[in-house]
Every structure is written in structure tokens, then in C-alpha cells.
Amino acid sequence: MRYSLLFFVFVLLFTFSYGKEKWKPDRDFVKAKVVKVVDGDTIVVSIPKTTFNNRKTLKNLRFNLRLIGIDTPESKPNRRAKIQSKETDKDVKTIVKLGKKAKAFTKNLVKGYRYVFLEFDLQPQDRYGRLLAYVWLPDGRMLNKEIICNGYAYPLTIPPNIKYKDQFLRCFHYARENKLGLWR
């Protein structure tokens, strides 16, 4: 009896001491600061320092960044909100209301973090010049995945950036089935 109790205590200590290992970003990830949340799926980031060709260093570069693999409703009435309105049979006012909820959710996820980490896929920019990335929070959660898993986005797969496509689809179905986020 005594040995089983000691074994149990040892297992608990082992689990808690190794289970809380700090997440470390991949060395290919780019460290960035979130300057502003534009929309549920678009943010502005500042990259503190980047070196090109092992010689030229650029500092504090600002970029509009589109989160890969997800699409949230627009938070302002615009052309895209009208398209979303037709696609979903909801009026533009409803689209914007849902978009503001998605934006607030995204803003809440990134607040309090000094930096995030950007993971690029095969195509790092879109035709509008925005960066395309998966954004990782310092605690190891992916922002894109958190937004869709909690019901604030639709999946949006545009090849060649398809690395997490299956995870995003599973999250989307789970959120819809369980009436999370915008699906309440």
C-alpha cells in the first residue's frame, strides 16, 4: 500500500514537472508584435528586426497580415461584406455585427502578449501585398486555429497554403455542431 502511494506521488510530480514545459517556436518562425487588429482575420504586425543576405538589417517593418486558412465576417460595411451577405443569406448589417464579434474575439486573444510568432507557408504574400501567415501565441496556441475552433471563422483554403487545412475543417465542424461563437 505504501509503495503504491509513493508511486502515485512520483507519477504526479513527474507529470506536473514535465507537463509544463514552455513552448518554443520553430527557428524558422518570425517574431512580431501585433500593432492592431483590423478584422477577425487581419492584423497589423511590426517585425522588430530582420536581416537580409546576412548583411542588411531592417528594423520595425510594419505589415498587414492575413491569417491563413480562415475567413471571418467583415467588421465594416464594404464590398466584401456585400459578397458575404449574398453567400450566407444574411443582410450586411448582420454580417458586420458578426464581424465585430469575431474582431473582438481576435483582439482578446492577442492582448497581453508582447510578441507573437509568424509561420509562413509556401506563398508568403497575397495579391494585395499582405503577409500570409499562421500566427502562434507565446503559449503555443495558434491564433488561426483558436479563432476557427471557437466558432468565429469559416475555413478558407487557398492553395498552395494548405498546411493546416484538415485541422481547420475539423475545428469548423466541431464549432458548428456545438454552437460555439457565431453559431450560437
Q: Which residues have a catalytic role annotated?
A: 66, 74, 130
For residues 33 and 116, what is the distance between their CA atoms, to the nearest angstrom? 6
Write 137-146 long-range contacts (CB < 8 A, 24+): 137/109, 137/110, 137/113, 138/23, 138/113, 138/114, 139/23, 140/23, 143/67, 143/106, 143/109, 143/110, 143/116, 144/67, 144/68, 144/69, 144/70, 144/168, 145/171, 146/109
